[in-house]
Amino acid sequence: MPAVEVRGVRLHYEVQGRGDPVVLSHGFLDSCCIWKGLAEKLAENHTVVAYDHRGHGRSDKPRGDYSVGSLAEDLRCLIESLHLGRVGVVGHSLGGMTALTLALEHPGMVSRLALVCTTARLVPQVQLAGRVMAGMGYLVPYRVFAERVMKLKVLGPSREPGHSAADRVTQTPKHVAYECGRGMLMGYDLTRSVCRVQAPTLILAGEKDLGAPVAMSRFLHREIAGSRLQVLRGCGHVPMIEKPREFTRILVDFLS
């Protein structure tokens, strides 16, 4: 499996297609597998790179810094190591936070930006839930934590074959889950700087998203000049699972 060493960590990635490059950045406790349908469709006209954040999927899982800033620096190094030049970036949830940070810190690297179920900061109810979980720490069985995460993410039963969504979440080690969650809670707030985004931007929201409510997507839309906001009706936090056809059509149109 292809991997590239970035800041002392091997990041797994998958590449397909030819054309203008697009990088896909997944969410908290997910992996690049979440992008399968979109990646296959985009590959008809683009070079598509889907990767696993450090600690996730098939990437290395060290202890250490899992802040959004650190993940954005990983993404920068990945793009440079693969010699992709200016790229379109699609980020979901934590991956959207990572993509947004990259677009602000390295605007020349991002040709287009798609923020899927993403916020400029965690909303108060998610912050509170995160602090409770952090306070209980390792007393909480990891599977209970995983099931709570998935209830926030997906409306209705998972459509993933072969295993439950919680099984997929627990493939990410416990130390990564807590450190990554702490990084989002303690160090992520772009509310004052998001207005500096220069790239053409699509903001895609789920109408019933609990983790990244539509109000936060509307805030991003107001702050990012010329951005486009699209809300998926009856959708929660994971539109690539809940509304795959509509989700793919919107992203393909935006990146064309």
Is residue 133 over pLDDT 70?
A: no
pLDDT at 1 over 90: no
Confidence at residue 166, expressed as pLDDT on a 0 to 100 scale: 46
Residue-level pLDDT at 186: 73
Q: Nearest CA to 26 among 108, 111, 74, 90?
A: 90
- For residues 97 and 91, the answer to whether their CB atoms sit within 8 Å is yes
pTM here is 0.88
pLDDT of residue 210: 83
What's the pLDDT at 172?
A: 80
Q: What is the pLDDT of residue 135?
A: 53
Does residue 148 have a pLDDT over 70? no
CA-wise closest residue to 7 among 58, 78, 68, 102:
78
Q: What is the pLDDT of residue 222?
A: 98
pLDDT tens digits along 60-86: 999 999 999 999 999 999 999 999 999
Give the per-residue pLDDT at 184.
76
Domain containing 123 — which CATH number? 3.40.50.1820
- How many CB atoms are located within 10 Å of the residue 91 CB? 27
Amino acid at site 145: F
- Give me the pLDDT at residue 29, please: 85
Contact yes or no for 88/21 (Cβ under 8 A): yes
Q: In the prediction, which pLDDT does 25 show?
A: 98
Give the chain's mean pLDDT: 86
Secondary structure class of 92 (helix, strand, coil): strand
Q: Which of 203, 209, 191, 220 is nearest to 126 (CA)?
A: 209
pLDDT (0 to 100) of residue 174: 80
What is the tens place of the pLDDT at every residue in 155-195? 544 444 434 454 455 578 888 887 887 777 777 899 999 99
Sign, CA dihedral 176-182-185-187, equals negative
Q: Which domain holds residue 48?
A: 3-255
- The predicted pLDDT at position 187 comes to 76
State the average pLDDT over residues 228-246: 95
Q: Tell me the residue ranges of DSSP E strands in 84-218.
A: 87-92, 110-116, 201-206
Q: What share of the chain has pLDDT > 90, as a percent?
A: 70
The whole-number pLDDT of residue 171 equals 72
In the numeric block, the tokens 């802040």 are attached to: 67
Q: What residues pair up with 6 in beta bridges, in sequence order?
A: 9
Neighbours of 166 (CB within 10 A): 19
How many domains is the chain partitioned into structurally?
1
